[in-house]
Amino acid sequence: MWNYEKRLQYPVKITQTNPKIAQVIITQFGGPDGELAASMRYLSQRYSMPYKEVTGILTDIGTEELAHMEMICAIVHQLTRDLTPEEIERSGFDKYYVDHTLALWPQAASGAPWTATYFQSKGDPITDLHEDMAAEQKARTTYDNILRLVKDPEVAEPIRFLRQREIVHYQRFGESLRIVQDKLDSKNFYAFNPEFDK
């Protein structure tokens, strides 16, 4: 169960619309390394995680990723609100507009729609945590790329905040991997797996 606090994790207050920037940033909503995939990944993996403290970390980070998705949606919304048809057409936002008007819909910057194939949930704690660490680094790289393209401080500041959280999540998943490796010990899938000893 979640308690919803009616405020963004980091404030988003964008005063100038810019649909070109919105087309880039939307990838962190519905792209391959975006916040929607991250939240679904961690909130799905927690059910098969055998260690409570790691289940708690997956739940905490998965929940925070939902908050990050909310921030990305707020940024895209504020960058595209009240656009005229001429602004939409001039900016190249017309293809998105035809399908979704100015509503938020999960897609990558390339226009590819979100798909559950963007994440994996294997049920093997070591495999899943390596997936999670890689996902956090890919998201950090995507934020790096966005920051190379976006110079507006009203947009860049919340993006910098999100980038920093990817680094923290990577570190937390690294700690979780050490917990799992210590607890697996004699059951370590790499050293001893009775299914392969027949």
Which pairs with CB-CB distance under 8 Å and at least 24 residues apart come from 111-114?
Answer: 112/31, 113/30, 114/29, 114/30, 114/31, 114/34, 114/36, 114/37
For residue 20, the SS3 value is helix
pLDDT digits (tens, 9 = 90+) for 129-150: 999 999 999 999 999 999 999 9
pLDDT of the residue at 197: 52
At a CB cut-off of 8 Å and minimum separation 6, what does 67 contact?
8, 9
CA dist 175 and 53 (Å) reads: 11
Using the structure block, give the residue that is written with the tokens 């940024």.
75
**pLDDT for 195:** 58
User: How confident is the model at residue 198, as a pLDDT?
Assistant: 52
113: which DSSP letter?
B
- Contact call for residues 42 and 118 (beta carbons, < 8 A): no
The residue ranges of the chain whose pLDDT is under 70 are: 1, 185-198
Q: What is the pLDDT of residue 190?
A: 55
Residue 1, both tokens: 């169960």
**Among 66, 3, 81, CA closest to 34:** 66
Reading the block at residue 157, the tokens are 């500041």
pLDDT for res 76 = 98
